[in-house]
Amino acid sequence: MIRYSLKCAADHSFDSWFQSAAAFDALAEGGHVTCPTCGSAEIVKTLMAPAVSTTRVATTMAGTLSTPANPQEEALSALRVEVEANSDYVGKNFVTEARKMHNGAVPSRAIHGEARLDEAKKLIEDGVPVVPMPFIPPRKVN
């Protein structure tokens, strides 16, 4: 794996991981590498220093991964807090619970959980109002 510092034509900087240098080149050439801020596919690699891992650096960097790095990450973090504070986590029972509420078998309430893509598509096809969330719910240990 290799991490590149990248920049789009609008001068937005971001990092991304690739399987190899050749993989980056193929993806970029095909227009599959896009800026997370503006969506531009005009991406170039920027100068970056190699990452040298030491115990001290690894410990310091671990703290920074939990803090939002940009306004988009802050917005996602705030959305996650809002969803988790105002809905019940039903885990892998999401599809069953959503169907029960839709059919009137149980009272409606705000829920969030996990569903496979095919299950989520079927809920939507059946008219069950669901929205995919841009984050993975934390696993609850029973």
Q: How many CB atoms lie within 10 A of CB 29?
A: 9
- Residue 36 is assigned to a structural domain of this protein: yes
Instruction: Determine, yes or no, domain membership for 7.
Output: yes
Distance CA 53, CA 75 (A): 30
Q: Tell me if 66 is assigned to some domain.
A: no
In-domain check, residue 138: no
Instruction: Give the mean pLDDT of the chain.
Output: 84
Q: Structure tokens of 101?
A: 């509420």
137 within some domain? no
Q: What's the pLDDT band for 53 if we cut at 50, 70, 90?
A: low
For residues 37-52, average pLDDT: 82
How far apart are the C-alpha atoms of 123 and 50, rounded to whole Å?
Answer: 46
pLDDT-based confidence at 127, cuts 50/70/90?
very high
In a domain, 62, yes or no: no
Range of the domain at 96: 87-125
The pTM (predicted TM-score) of the whole model is: 0.51
Q: Name the domain count of the chain.
A: 2
pLDDT tens by residue, 67-113:
778 888 888 888 888 998 999 999 899 999 999 999 999 999 999 99
Is residue 136 in some structural domain?
no
Domain membership of residue 57 (yes or no) is no
The radius of gyration computed from the CA coordinates of the chain, to the nearest angstrom, equals: 20
Cα dihedral 107, 126, 118, 121 sign: negative
